C-alpha cells in the first residue's frame, strides 16, 4: 500500500485525466487510441523534469461501447473498444506505464450499462428473463404518466416505455444507458467481479462514474421541486435530486466496493460525486474511512450543479472552499481536486470574460498543485488549451447537453504541434482542433510557457515534503489574495499565495522566505523585506525559513 516514505502512493500522486479519443491517434482514423497513449508516455513522465512529471493517469472509458455517450455506455466491461485497440494493447499500456512508474486508473461505470449490453438485451426480452431484475422496471401508473418525476441528466424524463414488455425502464442519463439495479445482489456481485477482472490484470484503480446515484430511494419516491428553478431553465435543475443522488443507502454499496479493493495491495478508487464537502465526506466512510480512498471535490468548477453558473476566481470564494473542505472531511481523509474535466468548459475558458483567462490558468496550476490533497490535471490544461466553441453544427458529437452544457468544446484533440494534424492524427480528427498556436511544441523549450510552469511545479512538488504531504493552514482571508502554509512534519514549510485581483497585491510574509516557483519571473525579486508583492493574477510558492 505504501511508497518508500511509508505513505499510500495516491496521497502524494499527481493524476492526469486523459480522454483517450483525444490524446494521440496511432492508427490514422482520427480517433485517439491506446497505442497512441503508449507513444506519448514519455511526455507524461520519463523520470526527468523534461517531462510533465505526473504519477498516474485516469483513462475515460475504454470498454466496448456503441459510443452514444462516448464510452459511458458500456456494452462489455471486460474488453477494449476496437476504436481504442484490443486487450493486448491495454496490457502493453499497463506494462509500459508501470515501467515508467506511472499508474493507471480505468473508468468504472456502475450506474448504467449500454442498452446493447447482453444483460439489458436479456432484461428487456421478457418479464421473466433471467436479467429482468438487473435493471429498474416499473409499470405505468394507473392514471398514466411516468412512474415518478425523475428527470434524465441529459434532459427529459428518466423513463422510457418498452412496448414489448409493457413497462418503463429507468435511465438517469440517455435512454441508451439503462440504470442497473444495485439492490439486486446478483448485480452487485457481477459488478464486483468486473473490478476484480481488471485489478487482476494490473490496473491500479478506478475512477467511479456517478457513484452517488448507484442506489436510489427503495420506493423510487418523487424528488422535491427545486425552489430556485424557474421555467425555461434546464429540466435537470427542476427538482432536487434527493431520492436518486447521495441517498443514504448508497454508502453501504460504497463500503462493499471498498472491500473488493482491500483484497489487493496498492489499489485505489476515486469517486465522482456531487455535493458539499460534508456530503462528499460520506464517500470516504466518515470517521472510519471504510469508504473509498478519494472523492472528487468539484467546487472550484461549480458549487452546486443544481444552481448553474461556475465558481468565480475570487480570493474570498477560494478561501471559503478550502476552509470548508479542511473542516468537513474526516481526519485522515484527503481532499481530491479537479479544476476541469470532460464534462465542463475548460478552466481558461470559464475565466476569460476579460481576456485574462491565461494568467488565471497559470495561477490555478500553482493553486491546484499547491493544495493539500490529490490533484487531477485535465489533459491539455498543462498547455493552456481552451474550448473550441466554434465547432460547426455538422461536426458536433456530444449527444447531450449535459446539465444544459455542451461538452464537445472541452474534448478537442491534444495539440502536440502547430501542423494541420497537430501531431495528433494524419486523418481528419473526430472533433475540430482548437487554435494552432497552443501546442506542446511551441512551449516545450520556452521556460516561461504554461507547460514549463506545470513541469516545474510537479517536480518541485515531488521534491518538497511540505507540498506533497504537509498540513494546510489558511492565512486570514482578504479580497485580493488567498494564501496558506503547507507544513511537513520535519519542519519544512511552503507558503502558497495567489493574487486573484487585477491589481498588485502585497502580502505580509509570515516568515522570511525564498520563492521556489512563480507564475512570473519578476516575482523572484518581489520579496521585499516582510512583504510579498504579487503582480495581477499571479501566484507563487515560497519556501519559508
Ligand atoms: C459522468 C461522466 O463524467 C459523463 O461524461 C457521463 O456522461 C455521465 N456520468 C454518465 O455516465
Cα 205 to Cα 219: distance, rounded to the nearest angstrom: 33
CB atoms under 10 Å from CB of 441, counted, come to 15
Q: What is the pLDDT of residue 417?
A: 98
Question: Which grid coordinates belong to 280?
Answer: 462528499
- Give residue 489's pLDDT: 87
Does the beta carbon of 72 sit less than 6 angstroms from any atom of ligand 1?
Answer: yes
295: CA distance to ligand 1 center in Å?
Answer: 15
Query: Atom 6, ligand 1: which residue's CA is nearest?
Result: 72
pLDDT band with cut points at 50, 70 and 90 for residue 525: low
- Residue 353, classified by CB atoms within 10 Å of its CB into exposed (0-12), middle (13-18) or buried (19+), is exposed
pLDDT tens by residue, 228-247: 888 888 888 899 999 999 99
Question: Ligand 1: which of 17, 69, 338, 400 to mutate, judged by most atoms within 8 Å of the beta carbon?
Answer: 69
CA of 209 to the centre of ligand 1 (A): 6
In angstroms, what is the span from residue 353 Cα to ligand 1's centroid? 27
DSSP strand pairing (268-271 vs 294-297): parallel
Residue nearest atom 10 in ligand 1 by C-alpha distance:
72
Q: CA angle, 456 as apex, 25 and 317 as ends, to 5°?
A: 95
Atom of ligand 1 at shortest range from CA of 173: 10
pLDDT at position 405 over 90: no
| Among 102-106, 197-201, 334-338, 397-401, the least confident range | 397-401
The torsion defined by the Cα of 49, 50, 55 and 58, in degrees rounded to 10, comes to 160
Q: What is the DSSP string of 107-130?
A: EE--SB--TTSHHHHHHTT-TT-T
Query: Residue 6 has what pLDDT?
Result: 56
Quote the pLDDT of residue 404: 64
**Atom from ligand 1 closest to the CA of residue 400:** 7
Strand order in the sheet with 513-518: 471-474, 481-487, 493-499, 539-544, 513-518
Cβ(181)–Cβ(134) under 8 Å? yes
- Answer yes or no: is the C-beta of 398 below 6 A from any ligand 1 atom: no
Higher pLDDT, 512 or 98: 98
DSSP H stretches of helix in 40-81: 41-44
pLDDT at 237: 87
- Closest Cα to atom 5 of ligand 1: 343
3-state SS, 319-362, equals: HHHHHHHHHHCCCCCCCEEECCCCCCCCHHHHCCCCCCHHHHHH
Q: Convert the pLDDT of each residue in 4-26 to its tens digit.
A: 455 799 999 999 999 999 999 99
Segment 511-526 mean pLDDT: 84
pLDDT at 530: 85
Strand ranges in 188-320 using DSSP code E only, listed in sequence order: 205-208, 268-271, 294-297
Q: What domains does the chain contain, in order, with CATH numbers?
A: 9-115+185-461 (3.20.20.80), 118-170 (3.90.400.10), 470-544 (2.60.40.1180)
Mean pLDDT of 280-289: 94
Rounded to 10 deg, the angle between the 185-199 and 250-262 helix axes is 30
Strand order in the sheet with 137-138: 137-138, 167-170, 159-162
Burial of residue 192 (CB within 10 Å: 0-12, 13-18, 19+) is: middle
Tell the residue nearest (CA) to atom 11 of ligand 1.
Answer: 72
CA dihedral 63, 67, 68, 74 (to 10 degrees): -10
3-class DSSP state of 100: coil
- Compute the distance between CA of residue 366 and CA of residue 374 in angstroms, rounded to an integer: 13
Mean pLDDT of the region 398-421: 89
At residue 13, the pLDDT reads 98
Closest residue by CA, ligand 1 atom 4: 343
The catalytic residues are: 209, 272
Average pLDDT of 453-469? 97
- Residues 392-409 have a mean pLDDT of 83
70 lines ligand 1 (CB under 6 A): no
Tell me, using a 6 A CB cutoff, whether residue 209 lines ligand 1.
Answer: yes
Average pLDDT over residues 161-183: 98
Q: What share of the chain is helix, strand, coil (3-state, %, to 5)?
A: 30, 20, 55
3-state secondary structure of 234: coil
* Amino acid 286: pLDDT: 87
Confidence of residue 305 (pLDDT cuts 50, 70, 90): confident
Residue to probe by mutation, ligand 1, list 210, 244, 301, 397, most atoms within 8 Å of CB: 210
Calculate how far, in angstroms, residue 237's C-alpha sits from the geometric centre of ligand 1. 17
Ligand 1 centre distance from Cα of residue 72 (Å): 6
Buried b (16+ CB within 10 A) or exposed e, 106-142: bbbbbbbbbbbbebbeebbeeeebebbebbbbeeeee
pLDDT at 1: 44
pLDDT category, 402, cuts 50, 70, 90? low
Question: What is the mean pLDDT of the segment spanning 320-335?
Answer: 96
Which of 158, 136, 141 lies closest to 149 in space, CA to CA? Answer: 158
Say which range, 25-39, 165-179, 496-510, 519-533, has the weakest mean pLDDT.
519-533
> Which band of pLDDT confidence, cut at 50, 70 and 90, is reported for residue 526?
low
Residue 307: what pLDDT? Answer: 81
Q: Say how far apart CA 230 and CA 238 lie, in whole Å.
A: 8
Closest ligand 1 atom to 69 CA = 7
pLDDT for the residue numbered 178:
98
pLDDT of residue 318 exceeding 80, the answer is yes
The mean predicted confidence, pLDDT, of the chain is 95
Tell me the pLDDT band of 521, cut-offs 50, 70 and 90. Answer: confident
Query: Among the listed ranges 42-51, 61-70, 515-524, which one has the minimum average pLDDT value?
Result: 515-524
Decide: 210 in ligand 1 pocket, CB within 6 A.
Answer: yes
Predicted pLDDT of residue 335: 97
Task: Answer whether 424 contacts ligand 1 (Cβ < 6 A).
Answer: no
Predicted pLDDT of residue 205 = 98
CA distance 157 to 174: 10
Q: Return the closest-CA partner of residue 374 out of 309, 312, 325.
A: 325
Quote the pLDDT of residue 403. Answer: 63
Confidence of residue 352 (pLDDT cuts 50, 70, 90): very high
**Predicted local distance difference test score (pLDDT) of residue 459:** 98
E strand or H helix at 260: helix 250-262
Statement: residue 3 has pLDDT above 70 = no
Amino acid at each position: 500500500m505504501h511508497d518508500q516514505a511509508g505513505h499510500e502512493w495516491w496521497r502524494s500522486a499527481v493524476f492526469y485525466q486523459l480522454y483517450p479519443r483525444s490524446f494521440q491517434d496511432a492508427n490514422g482514423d482520427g480517433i485517439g487510441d491506446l497505442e497512441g497513449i503508449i507513444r506519448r508516455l514519455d511526455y507524461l513522465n520519463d523520470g526527468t523534469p523534461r517531462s510533465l512529471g505526473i504519477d498516474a493517469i485516469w483513462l475515460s472509458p475504454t470498454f466496448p461501447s456503441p459510443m452514444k455517450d462516448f464510452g459511458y455506455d458500456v456494452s462489455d466491461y471486460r474488453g477494449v473498444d476496437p476504436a481504442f485497440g484490443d486487450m493486448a494493447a491495454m496490457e502493453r499500456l499497463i506494462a509500459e506505464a508501470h515501467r515508467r512508474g506511472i499508474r493507471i486508473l480505468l473508468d468504472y461505470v456502475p450506474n448504467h450499462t449500454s442498452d446493447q449490453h447482453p444483460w439489458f438485451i436479456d432484461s428487456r426480452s421478457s418479464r421473466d428473463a433471467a436479467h429482468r431484475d438487473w435493471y429498474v422496471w416499473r409499470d405505468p401508473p394507473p392514471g398514466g404518466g411516468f412512474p415518478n418525476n425523475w428527470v434524465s441528466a441529459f434532459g427529459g424524463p428518466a423513463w422510457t416505455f418498452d412496448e414489448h414488455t409493457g413497462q418503463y425502464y429507468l435511465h438517469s442519463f440517455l435512454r441508451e444507458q439503462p440504470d442497473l439495479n444495485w439492490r439486486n445482489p446478483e448485480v452487485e456481485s457481477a459488478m464486483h467481479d468486473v473490478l476484480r477482472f481488471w485489478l487482476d490484470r494490473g490496473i491500479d484503480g478506478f475512477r467511479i462514474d456517478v457513484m452517488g446515484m448507484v442506489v436510489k430511494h427503495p420506493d423510487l419516491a418523487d424528488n422535491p421541486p427545486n425552489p430556485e428553478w424557474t421555467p425555461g431553465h434546464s429540466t435537470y435543475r427542476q427538482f432536487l435530486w434527493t431520492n436518486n443522488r447521495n441517498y443514504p443507502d448508497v454508502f453501504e454499496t460504497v463500503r462493499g466496493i471498498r472491500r473488493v479493493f482491500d483484497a489487493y495491495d496498492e489499489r485505489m478508487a476515486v469517486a465522482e460525486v456531487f455535493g458539499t464537502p460534508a456530503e462528499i465526506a460520506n464517500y470516504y466512510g466518515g470517521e472510519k474511512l471504510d469508504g473509498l480512498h478519494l472523492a472528487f471535490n468539484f467546487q472550484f468548477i461549480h458549487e452546486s450543479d443544481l444552481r448553474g453558473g461556475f465558481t468565480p476566481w475570487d480570493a474570498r470564494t477560494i478561501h471559503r472552499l478550502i476552509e470548508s473542505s479542511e473542516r468537513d472531511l474526516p481526519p485522515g481523509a484527503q481532499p481530491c481536486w479537479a479544476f476541469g474535466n470532460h464534462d465542463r468548459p475548460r478552466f481558461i475558458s470559464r475565466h476569460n470574460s476579460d481576456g485574462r483567462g491565461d494568467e488565471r490558468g497559470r495561477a490555478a496550476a500553482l493553486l491546484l498543485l499547491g493544495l493539500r490533497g490529490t490533484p487531477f490535471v485535465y489533459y491539455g490544461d498543462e498547455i493552456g488549451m481552451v474550448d473550441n466553441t466554434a465547432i460547426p453544427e455538422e461536426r458536433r458529437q456530444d449527444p447531450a447537453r449535459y446539465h444544459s452544457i455542451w461538452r464537445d468544446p472541452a474534448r478537442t484533440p491534444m495539440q502536440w504541434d502547430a501542423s494541420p494534424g497537430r501531431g495528433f492524427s494524419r486523418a481528419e480528427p473526430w472533433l475540430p482542433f482548437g487554435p494552432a498556436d497552443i501546442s506542446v511544441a511551441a512551449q516545450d523549450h520556452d521556460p516561461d510557457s504554461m507547460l514549463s510552469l506545470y513541469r516545474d511545479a510537479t517536480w518541485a512538488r515531488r521534491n518538497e515534503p511540505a507540498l506533497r504531504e504537509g498540513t494546510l493552514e489558511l492565512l486570514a482571508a482578504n479580497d485580493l489574495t488567498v494564501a496558506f502554509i503547507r507544513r511537513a512534519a520535519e519542519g519544512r514549510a511552503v507558503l502558497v499565495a495567489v493574487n486573484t485581483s487585477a491589481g498588485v497585491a502585497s502580502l505580509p510574509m509570515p516568515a522570511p522566505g525564498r520563492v521556489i516557483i512563480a507564475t512570473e519571473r519578476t516575482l523572484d525579486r518581489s520579496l521585499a523585506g516582510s512583504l510579498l508583492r504579487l503582480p495581477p493574477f499571479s501566484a507563487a510558492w515560497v519556501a519559508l525559513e
